[in-house]
Chains A and B, each alone.
Chain A
């Protein structure tokens, strides 16, 4: 494999190869990091949505988008009773607890939502809580009282009664200054949500988390299900790379072996392979995949299998055949026959290694095309139902009319990652092509 190594050494002369390699290494490194920090099971769990994301805002933009736009949109704040100075007055058969949840709000925009999560450890008798909102300018709003189940979610934003009283949605009204006319202005300063709790059991305890949902979140933002898109963007890397690599390896290796066998045996073997290829070339791949996805399974492994199966008898066979035909006649093959090498040995050890260097560039540029194919399938709604992938993100974005609502980040970040992947492999592939196909090289 010396010519191969020599070729790889020459790669250093091509800056595009180095850039491509840097991109690929970065992607692979991130992929490894992702898989280690968010294990597969956890990733699926997260991507299923729901409970883990209750403290995340809906459709929040990435922070950097906000920064570029020069805004100072609120981030999500969680004010926990664990940090609060709690006053407790026990009485026979219970206690009275005052929990002040204090926080400073210094953003230019209103929060996107306001929720209070309460956990109580009572056994039988439900505690009672009364909520009071205090603004920095000492106005007070009674948010009402209620009995508490063990897990209670108080959606302040969806308190219709309060909304009617404020004349605005609560998460705006509660943060607005006193001015009555004109658009509401944020009043910056220290807010307090006071919880007056009466516990009817001596051992009972209560914990509270006030979540002031922001309008920006993290580097990737969140989607309509509050999920952090970063999970999908990160997990999309190993999925895309694995799919692309496996599909490229699978199709290239099998195609190569089949083409070589056809060339070597010739006769009817070759004829059958050629006819199969010709039939397969005119079969449209995407509709078949859509059918498989609709009627059978959209599991990524099934799709991978179908992609490889359809990719085996592809136009590649014709190309490899053209390259292998002269090799079959080459003297070193004749010599191998003359010392008794068998058919399998000649195909695998003598014919295929000869064209391997020429194939490497093709192979490298093939990887992103399979990555794109996987993303296209997901975009068409045929993505793996459980795996977080770039295609899935774009599919969600499409169904939620992300662009119409101005959530550009939702489409652009997975698209950018796809392009980056394509760019990395393409830059490396083109440089490899120069190295291994000297005809393309200029003096």
Chain B
């Protein structure tokens, strides 16, 4: 596929103030995403992956201290957009978001059909009738019977509510849907069936996805590309086949080895130590303290090295091996 990627993010930074200082939640994140591609953003809790979702939607907390970088949608720089223009042209039009625990954030006193139709009325000024018809269509897409349009959220199971939330994100036919932990609160069978729905939607509508999760196994159901985050930075960006089979970054390796597999005799390993505090991240490589391959260069902040056509690693181990 040639031409501009659907989304290109360069050196995205988001710092916010807290009671105890400045939290560097995103500290220079760059990646790109092609049309109809699914990118999985992996990371432990507190690594900044949820902040990334909000930053891409420009849903910034009030206490932002610093927000910078470039974000190109179809080659158009959007960082300079005013809030109004961003809302009109990007948010929920080109990119929509399924927030973490959104299924518990549905309005309890409004029928789910109307909640799904809402963005159409707001963004496109559609009539109630037309919006509801479209909502019914999207319900079919995510595997919810159209009968459920008239139900209230509490009448639906967790899995159904999650599908409704997904329908809400898809109803405006965005190019990109960002999902933050969409299935982690759900059971295995429900999870699998929602992943099935996502795969089908991706194939049929050509939608791109960014799936943010800590669950490596489930993420593999959708992933074509994987971005691994650690302490506010992207440490590895690779195709899923490379990442899952031959992770490059020492953290990626440990993470993959820590994933329990159903058909595996040996006990999964655990990653010693804890991620650093984003209030005051250490000098040099942020993973150095927990890294088994640490050496003297790790005292300096590693550069991002390109080690494949679409593969980058932020680790000094690959410094000489910048092969391409």
Complex contacts, B62 vs chain A, CB 8 Å: 443
B17 close to A (CB within 8 Å): yes
Q: How large is the interface on B (under 10, 10 to 19, 20 to 34, 35 or more residues)?
A: under 10
Shortest Cβ distance from A134 into chain B, in angstroms?
79
- Which chain A residues border B63 with CB–CB below 8 Å? 443
Smallest CB-CB separation from A443: which chain B residue?
A: B63
The answer for the CA separation of A443 and B22 in the assembled complex, in Å, is 12
As a 0/1 sequence over residues 426 to 443 of chain A, the CB contacts with chain B under 8 angstroms (1 = contact) are 000000000000000001
Q: A406-443 vs B: 1/0 string, CB under 8 Å?
A: 00000000000000000000000000000000000001
Distance, CA A443 to CA B62, complexed state (A): 8
Main secondary structure on B side of the interface with A: loop
CB proximity of B61 to chain A, nearest CB, Å? 8
Q: How many residues of A contact B (CB 8 A)?
A: 1
Over the window 52-80 of chain B, the binary record of Cβ atoms lying under 8 Å from chain A Cβ atoms (1 yes, 0 no) is 00000000001100000000000000000
A443 to B23, CA, bound (A): 13
Question: What 0/1 pattern do residues 274 to 304 of B give for CB contact below 8 A with A?
Answer: 0000000000000000000000000000000
Instruction: Find chain B residues with CB under 8 A from A443 CB.
Output: 17, 62-63
Q: Smallest CB-CB separation from A438: which chain B residue?
A: B19
- C-alpha spacing A443/B63, complex, angstroms: 6
Chain B's closest residue to A441 (CB) is B19
Report chain A residues within 8 Å CB of B17.
443
CA of A443 to CA of B19, assembled, Å:
8
Return the chain A residue nearest B64 by Cβ: A443
A443 to B21, alpha carbons, bound, how many Å?
Answer: 12
Provide the B17-32 mask, 1 if CB < 8 A to any CB of A, else 0.
Answer: 1000000000000000
**In the complex, chain B residues 5-50 whose Cβ is within 8 Å of any chain A Cβ:** 17
Smallest CB gap from A442: residue in B: B62
Interface string of A378-390 (1 = CB under 8 A from B): 0000000000000
User: What residue of chain B has the Cβ atom nearest to residue A10's Cβ?
Assistant: B19
Bound complex: CA A269 to CA B218 (Å):
49
Least CB distance, B59 to chain A, in whole angstroms: 16
- Tell me the minimal C-beta distance from A8 to chain B in angstroms: 16
CA distance A363 to B62 in the complex (A): 32
Bound-state Cα–Cα, A333 to B17, Å: 35
Smallest CB separation, A185 vs chain B (Å): 71
Closest to B17 in A: A443
Q: Smallest CB–CB gap between B297 and chain A, Å?
A: 39
> Whole-angstrom distance from the CB of B64 to the nearest CB of chain A?
10
Contact pattern, B 152-179, Cβ under 8 Å of A = 1, otherwise 0? 0000000000000000000000000000
Which residue of chain A has its CB nearest to the CB of B18? A443
For residue B63, which residue of chain A has the nearest CB? A443
- CB A397 to nearest CB in B, in angstroms, measures 49
Measured in the bound complex, the distance between the Cα atoms of B17 and A129 in whole Å is 88
Q: How far is the CB of A417 from chain B (nearest CB, A)?
A: 37
CA distance A413 to B199 in the complex (A): 78
A443 to B65, CA, bound (A): 11
What residue in chain A is nearest B16 (Cβ atoms)?
A443
**Least Cβ distance of B22 to chain A in Å?**
12
CA distance A443 to B17 in the complex (A): 8
Nearest-neighbour CB distance to chain B for A9, whole angstroms, equals 12
Q: Shortest Cβ distance from B49 into chain A, in angstroms?
A: 22
Cβ of A437 to closest chain B Cβ, rounded Å: 15
User: How near does chain A come to B63, taking the closest CB pair, in angstroms?
Assistant: 4
Query: What's the minimum C-beta distance from A274 to chain B, rounded to whole angstroms?
Result: 25
Q: How far is the CB of B60 from chain A (nearest CB, A)?
A: 12
Q: Which residue of A lies closest to B62 (CB)?
A: A443
B18 to nearest A CB, angstroms? 8
B-side residues, CB < 8 A to A, are 17, 62-63
3 nearest A-B pairs in the assembled complex, by CB-CB distance: A443-B63, A443-B62, A443-B17
Q: List 3 A-B contacts (CB under 8 A).
A: A443-B17, A443-B62, A443-B63
